[in-house]
Structure 1
């Protein structure tokens, strides 16, 4: 973006998400954000009353992506085949670095902690709803969903590189373990 172009609210949020993923929670100071944007504090405060308002907006942006956009993908095609594909691929479409850093930020920021809790619970609930439809053999879909989700969250801490050669084997094992392999014939 050229230095003369107006920096919009979404530009600030995109910048913040990128800095959080790359540099961690310490990057989300007004000073660091304005330096990275090459904008004044006045430009920042034009869009956000304070840093807390920025954090709320950043987490709301993530909530829309993590819940609303992801849920819409399941609504587009409700076939078991499509849902299995989403369950297999979805966890590896997540920006692990961003989500890991959100969890670090949540340790010191109540605003972020509350939104993280809401997003985690919504994801688990949504996954349980999908499992209820796909896996009637599961006695407690919510508990099963919590374990499946915890596996994905744990992998965020263990795998930094999206090209890690272990990913393929982890995917195959997880697909078998959670019963979301592609069936032989459909």
Structure 2
């Protein structure tokens, strides 16, 4: 991975490890092994970088999942819910990132706006899948919120709740 992609992937790793205060140019240069000239070639300063990083987070940890699940041919609505759960639980990076993004959104209106949009997309997509699975509107809204809050709450627990346990809890909500 070279150039812009490396800067963004490194930024997510730093954000997950150190929180928003860790997103400094010095730390990014050290993590990527690239030059500050390369950074300024790809981004309009640190504020431009942070805006791109938020968009990258939204793409990788929300929109990519929505596209994959929507495109899954041959799966009924319950199967698409299972696929979404698989995608969300397949790695442990998002748990720390979710906490860091929410922390960032407390003090930064741009981060708060992106986080609100991500939450709305995720909850709306869950609600849609639940409706297609036969849930009534009110039950779909409430169950989507419960599932979402389960995942967000788990990302704040220490020790970390393992993906296998989260799957069992999510299945219990869905049964």
* TM-score of Structure 1 vs Structure 2, range by shorter chain: 0.7 to 0.9
| Superposed counterparts of 1:163-178, under 5 Å | 164=162, 168-178=164-174
> Aligned Cα RMSD in Å?
2.3
Going by fraction, where is helix more abundant, 1 or 2?
2
Cα separation, partners in 2 of 1:84 and 1:36, compared to 1, 3 Å: closer
Structure 1 segments unaligned to the other structure (5+ residues): 2-6, 180-186
Bigger Cα Rg:
1
Cα separation, partners in 2 of 1:136 and 1:38, compared to 1, 3 Å: closer
Partner of 2:30: 35
CA contact (8 A) 1:55 1:111 kept: no
Partner of 2:83: 86
CA distance in 2, matches of 1:52, 1:121: 24
How far has the Cα of 1:42 moved from its partner?
Answer: 2.5
* 1:21 and 2:4 are equivalent in the alignment: no
**Length, aligned pairs only:** 171
How far has the Cα of 1:126 moved from its partner?
Answer: 0.4
Structure 2 segments unaligned to the other structure (5+ residues): none
| Superposed counterparts of 1:44-63, under 5 Å | 44-63=39-58
- TM-score in terms of structure 2 length: 0.84
Cα separation, partners in 2 of 1:33 and 1:169, compared to 1, 3 Å: closer
Q: Deviations over 1:30-78 (max 9, x none)?
A: 2221233333333211111121211111111111122321112222134
CA distance in 1, matches of 2:35, 2:138: 56
Cα separation, partners in 2 of 1:134 and 1:159, compared to 1, 3 Å: farther
- TM-score in terms of structure 1 length: 0.79
Cα separation, partners in 2 of 1:86 and 1:29, compared to 1, 3 Å: same
Q: Greater shift after overlay, 94-103 or 46-55?
A: 94-103
